[in-house]
């Protein structure tokens, strides 16, 4: 797999966040009218009555996996993000993000670190939007959550650089508590929000269970 492809895939994600006020200023300067024009309710609930404290609680699961996306990420077989640090009072967190890639007939893994800070809240005080800023690419990435349960979350991802307009997609993430019986609870809302019918990509979360370097 070429170094260019690996770098391009990692650039789809986010890098290390600088001091919070700098990241917030970046976000305010680039916040898309897309979010302002969409009256998406944030649904934070569980049909089983589990206790939950919103998107931050889901994001700080031990591990989360990209399950569905409105766009296809070339060469990516799976993406897994493992929580490495979290601060409940400030609702900030850091993750180690692993990418499993297939290219040139081989399977490789790449990793990066990502940190997130909240920049928008619901009326109930839960996080609605997380922001991350990459010093490497000067990219601002926002995740605005539309749904959060103890097992999955649906978010609109918007990434903008100083040279490009915001690129947007919708993603469904799941954690280790997710199972097939949760499909209607998680995938149905994704499809309703996405309205992408067959124009979406499903990622096999089991691909992330294989050890590094395995096919």
28-79 pLDDT per residue, tens: 433 333 333 344 445 554 444 344 458 999 999 999 999 999 998 889 999 9
122-181 pLDDT per residue, tens: 888 889 999 998 777 788 999 999 999 888 999 999 998 888 888 899 999 999 988 766
How much is the average pLDDT of 195-215?
77
Q: For residue 86, give the H/E element and its range.
A: strand 76-87
4-41 pLDDT per residue, tens: 444 444 455 543 333 344 444 443 433 333 333 344 44
Question: Can you give the pLDDT at residue 196?
Answer: 84
What is the pTM for the complete model shown? 0.77
Q: Where do the domains of the chain lie, and which CATH numbers do they carry? A: 3-9+39-209 (2.40.128.20)
Question: Can you give the pLDDT at residue 139?
Answer: 85
Distances (CA, A) of 115 to 26, 86, 108, 121, 193: 15, 9, 24, 18, 26
Burial of 105 (0-12, 13-18, 19+ CB in 10 A): exposed
Question: Can you give the pLDDT at residue 184?
Answer: 77
Question: Can you give the pLDDT at residue 105?
Answer: 83
Question: Can you give the pLDDT at residue 112?
Answer: 86
174-190 pLDDT per residue, tens: 999 887 666 778 888 99
């Amino acid at each position: 797999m070429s170094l260019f492809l690996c770098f391009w895939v990692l650039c789809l994600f986010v890098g290390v966040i600088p001091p919070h006020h700098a990241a917030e200023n970046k976000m305010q300067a680039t916040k898309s009218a897309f979010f302002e024009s969409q009256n998406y309710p944030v649904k934070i609930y569980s049909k089983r009555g589990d206790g939950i404290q919103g998107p931050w609680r889901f994001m700080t699961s031990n591990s989360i996996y990209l399950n569905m996306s409105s766009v296809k990420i070339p060469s990516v077989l799976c993406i897994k993000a493992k929580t490495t640090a979290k601060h409940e009072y400030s609702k900030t967190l850091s993750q180690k993000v692993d990418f499993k890639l297939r290219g040139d007939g081989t399977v490789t893994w790449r990793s990066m670190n990502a940190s997130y800070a909240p920049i928008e809240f619901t009326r109930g005080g839960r996080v609605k939007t997380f922001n991350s800023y990459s010093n490497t690419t000067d990219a601002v990435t926002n995740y605005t959550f539309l749904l959060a349960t103890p097992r999955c979350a649906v978010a609109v991802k918007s990434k903008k650089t100083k040279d490009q307009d915001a690129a947007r997609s919708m993603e469904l993430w799941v954690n280790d508590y997710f199972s097939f019986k949760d499909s209607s609870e998680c995938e149905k809302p994704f499809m309703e929000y996405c309205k992408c019918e067959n124009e979406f990509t499903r990622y096999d979360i089991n691909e992330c269970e294989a050890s590094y370097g395995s096919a």
